Structure 1
Amino acid sequence: MVDRPVPYSSATNSHPQEITQRIREIPSMAIAFLSGLLMALTLAPAGFWVLGWVALAPLWALLRRTPRRIWAVIPLCAAWGVGYNGLAISWIVDLHPLTWMGLTNSVSLGVTAFAWTAIVFWGVVRVTCWGLLVALLWGWHATGTESLGCILNRWLGAIALWCALEVLWSYTPLDWTTLAITQSPHDLWILHLGQLSGPTAVSACLVAINGLVAEAWLHPQAGVRKPLVNLGLGILLVSHLVGLALFLQPVPQAPESELKIGIIQGNIPTRVKLFEDGVQRSFDAYIDGYEALVDQGADAVLTPEGSFPWAWVDTPKRQQNAFYQTIVSRGIPAWVGSFGLEDGHYRQTLFTISGDGEVYSRYNKVKLVPLGEYIPFESLLGEVIQRLSTLADSMRPGSLHQVVDSPVGRAIAAICYDSAFPQIFRNQAATGGEFILTASNNDPYGSAMMNQHHAQDVMRAIETSRYTLRATNTGFSGVVTPHGRTLWKSGFRTYEAHLATIYKQQTRTLYVQWGNWLTPFLLGVALIGWLRVKR
């Protein structure tokens, strides 16, 4: 029998072709990953904020060189997202060890690894959705015959979609690493664009410049590159000039609006304060700090989140609380971080207690920390997740629309993780909030997380044009002006009792009045451009 040659089939050759293609993708994915790492270096502890204007450009350029297959963008976007989010929130590893809560070392590692992976994954999903949507609507694939108009049409669509996804993510349980935070607290001029339309105005400028850098690099011909470069320089200049004009606006400081507010940083680790010795340390630290600040002339005193981490205000035990007794004795109001108890459920609460002992108002934390304060999808996955969680029961979140009145004026309140969600602050500013109070724990995290948290509050101060008072357990407490200047910042894991002078503000920024109007505007313009191309 004569052997016949096997007919050539693309299937027989597809395997080596796929291997070759995957090998070629490795350098591109490595570049995308390194690009994400560069973007993460803009945040604390590195703080190389200038990189924010160019660190997205390599990913953009790589996406423009992908094949026409839509799914080809996924590995590149995922690599960038892992690099950016993975390094930016690497401080989450400070959760370990949780052995003081009775967990074994391996379970503690599991909790920490699960938390880090979940946050990084959610950040990766956002940037991947962006890449896919741009590919679906405009197509990333570069062609040599593209006109300047086609390039700018895709560019505008990519900006609009990035902003839209940042807004969408701000209504999810996990959000921290918007592009805007890469500039905080350093580039105060550009951060003032937040007064116009919130943090997405800053993000829009960053995406715009990165996109133009990538497009100019991809199109060396003078007829295309020169207009792109000029447009980029123009946006960079005009955005900073607008920010400077807002930055130079005077802040009203009428004598009748002056407040002297005391801030106490207790510096009592959570692993200590939950036990008997820690309880007494808490009373000593906050009573001593309160009395010292009252002696200095404080109109009110602010304590951190969970200063007394048990339910006592909403119970008959309130009268027996030594700190409460001190408030009544001295007659000066205080904002006290503790656990609220409503409808049989615990809440993370900042109580406003007046000088006569009345619970004047309360603010319940809106954005609870998954696994730390509540069990996600409790009805479906409660038993499974609880094995990796330290919770015995889930807390309940507060309403997005809360009003926090006090004997010294209406406050804009937030607790810890709330600082990453600008709409919480805007809503309270729109209803008459005159100054910002943020109460946080920040233990057991290190200085990187604390600096990033401070950066979040700097943006919220600028967006609402309000003085901001930050009380944390272990650092960094601080005082921030409506223009984002830090007047005072506490030490790292130190005990502090600081008296700050601020001024109540009643002005309304464009962002407070109109909200995030820029994103729907950009989406509308991008849609018009898309429809014109599709005709």
Structure 2
Amino acid sequence: MKAAATWLRKLIYTWDWRQASLVALSGVLMAIALPPLSLWPLAWVGLVPLWWVVVATPSIALAAAYGLLWGLVYYGISLAWITHLHPLMWMGVPWLSSVAIALSAWIFIVIWGSVCIAAWGGAIAWLTHRWPGRRVWTVLAGTALWCTLETLRNYSPLDWSPLSLSQSPNNLWILHLTRLSGPQIISAILVATNGLLAVVLTPHSLIPSSFPSSHLLIPASRRRSLALTACALVFASHLLGARLYAQAAPAAAGQSLTLGLVQGNVPTREKLTPQGVRQALEGYTEGYRSLVEQGVAAVVTPEGALPQLWNPNSPQLAAMLQTVGQAGVPLWLGTFAPVPGEGRTQYTQSILELRTDGQYHGRYNKVQLVPLGEYIPFEALLGRLISRLSPLDSYLVPGQPMQQFETSVGKVTVGICYESAYSRLFRRQTRAGGEFVVTASNNDPYPVWMMQQHHGFDVLRAVESDRWALRVTNTGLSGLVDNHGRTLWLGEPQTYLVHRAELERRQTLTPYVRWGDWLTPLLLGLTVAWGWWGVSR
């Protein structure tokens, strides 16, 4: 305990507010590059101050602290929408507890992302001190480590705001690079470009007196060559992206498809009441009938469209099944479906395809559940401390990662809400035959700018898989994106609407869909090989 206190005092004593300000500025620049502001050019220079500081910091622990600060600023801003969980008084939660729940959820996920950046900052400082004269190799190592940390975080229950989101939905040329190796290729190019610029532009004033200038400053001729390398990387990546944009193969003849969507706009605080259930039933039934008259092949509803446990004998579901039987057009219904098995009945967050026989045929179960909202991690520890936000009497269970949504119009790649941030889930389904993407979300009670971030993820999923994507939500933003990432239609948020969407079914397999993220292990391999070669010399 005494040693920890001594370490903390030393850390505070060596803290440099000028460097901390640069790190905070870097976090702000990267955060506003994300939707909704989408100032994506800032991402190509926004990491430079962070690189400066962690490389020039003599203490590894202090560099990690600066990395933590960057994460707190970046994730704190980009994830501030989580605080809109408050108010929860409609659930019977006291006002103070409602504020505590919203703030706790926000702080927890912000710290989770920030710890990864702290590890990155400490590692870069260690590499710089261990091999101080190898700046370009450090940039390569930093790029590989950043991509590795983002990849590992994407296998965890919590992930959002990767660097690749800063280029979506506007920088379509760069987005097309994801067809080669997924979203990590964008993160790699951004981190590497910023790292090279940081080497070229390192100011003398940032170098501490205890650090030899020769370790961080390089000759003018080398600076020019590295500056040209950074510019060439930016230019070449955009040029390659433009070529991929232009080379997309056209869809085969007869692959057009017309789907309908209903944006119910029933807020969560209302749809969990008997009156809200009636409103949802009326709204989705009316929208379904309207779209059937327009000649759609199927009608899609959002996540939890009818917030009830699946029971075909219940009056509400029986009425909807009767409507589908009379109209003869499949309905993709968002609901809670039971999991067959013995013991206590468990449920999944599901999309079911209802057909005219009154049964569901296709079924997709949500894989990536929302912590605290759909289940409680470490339930024995946290169960008594956190109020659950699910309308169910039992916790949800996740679906199987390798499942496929088989429908009357073919195989579909599906994501439910939060899953839009998990590219690997979409890749598996597309590789197994998914011909287009459908994402079903609730998005209430979050603000419009969160919906814009969510839309940015769906644009990424459409481009990397070379698939059209239909986005249907409860409160917005519903939309249609083509396989180039162009948003063809975007509905008004917080409005009831129905929409008839025409899209294409595609069977192409991009390199990313075929082989996954091969770039991250390649970068790690190059880092180790180059490092070993340098040490052996």
TM-score for both structures, normalised by structure 2: 0.92
Match among 226, 245, 248 for residue 246 of structure 2? 248
Give the 3 Å change call, closer, same or farther, for CA 251–490 of structure 1 in structure 2.
farther
Is the CA contact 2:373–2:388 (under 8 Å) kept in the aligned structure 1?
no
Match among 318, 323, 326 for residue 323 of structure 2? 326
> Residue 111 of structure 1 aligns with which residue?
101
Q: C-alpha distance in 1, partners of 2:388/2:436?
A: 41
Q: C-alpha distance in 2, partners of 1:392/1:141?
A: 55
> Residue 4 of structure 1 aligns with which residue?
none
1:91 matched to 2:84? The reply is: no
> Residue 39 of structure 2 aligns with which residue?
48
SS of the residue corresponding to residue 207 of structure 1 reads helix
Q: C-alpha distance in 2, partners of 1:319/1:63?
A: 59
> Residue 184 of structure 1 aligns with which residue?
168
Amino acid at match of 1:205: I
Give 1:215-230 correspondences, 5 Å limit: 215-218=199-202, 219=217, 221-230=219-228
> Residue 31 of structure 1 aligns with which residue?
22
> Residue 526 of structure 1 aligns with which residue?
527
TM-score for both structures, normalised by structure 1: 0.92
Give 1:67-466 correspondences, 5 Å limit: 67=58, 69-136=59-126, 138-139=127-128, 146=133, 150-218=134-202, 219=217, 221-313=219-311, 316-317=313-314, 320-342=317-339, 343=341, 344-386=345-387, 393-466=394-467
SS of the residue corresponding to residue 337 of structure 1 reads strand
> Residue 512 of structure 1 aligns with which residue?
513
The Cα of 1:283 is off from its aligned counterpart by: 1.1
Amino acid at match of 1:155: V
Amino acid at match of 1:479: L
Give 1:483-522 correspondences, 5 Å limit: 483-522=484-523
The Cα of 1:47 is off from its aligned counterpart by: 1.6
Amino acid at match of 1:269: P
Aligned length: 512
Q: List alignment gaps of at least 5 residues for structure 2.
A: 1-5, 203-216
Give the 3 Å change call, closer, same or farther, for CA 93–528 of structure 1 in structure 2.
same
Amino acid at match of 1:161: L
Query: Identical aligned pairs, as a percentage?
Result: 44
Which whole-Å deviations, capped at 9, do the CAs of 1:351-373 have from their partners, x for residues lacking one?
11223333112111111111111
Which whole-Å deviations, capped at 9, do the CAs of 1:470-500 have from their partners, x for residues lacking one?
1000000000001100010000101110001
SS of the residue corresponding to residue 277 of structure 2 reads helix
SS of the residue corresponding to residue 371 of structure 1 reads coil
1:475 matched to 2:464? The reply is: no
Which whole-Å deviations, capped at 9, do the CAs of 1:115-163 have from their partners, x for residues lacking one?
0001100110111121223334x226895xx3xxx21111111111111
Cα RMSD of the aligned pairs, angstroms, is 2.0
Q: C-alpha distance in 2, partners of 1:515/1:128?
A: 27
SS of the residue corresponding to residue 97 of structure 1 reads coil
Amino acid at match of 1:96: H
Between 40-49 and 163-172, report the one with greater CA deviation: 40-49
Amino acid at match of 1:278: G
Give the 3 Å change call, closer, same or farther, for CA 130–516 of structure 1 in structure 2.
same
Give the 3 Å change call, closer, same or farther, for CA 411–19 of structure 1 in structure 2.
closer
The Cα of 1:406 is off from its aligned counterpart by: 0.3
Between 281-290 and 254-263, report the one with greater CA deviation: 254-263
Which whole-Å deviations, capped at 9, do the CAs of 1:422-451 have from their partners, x for residues lacking one?
000000001000010100000000111000
SS of the residue corresponding to residue 307 of structure 1 reads coil
Is the CA contact 2:468–2:505 (under 8 Å) kept in the aligned structure 1?
yes
Between 45-54 and 183-192, report the one with greater CA deviation: 45-54
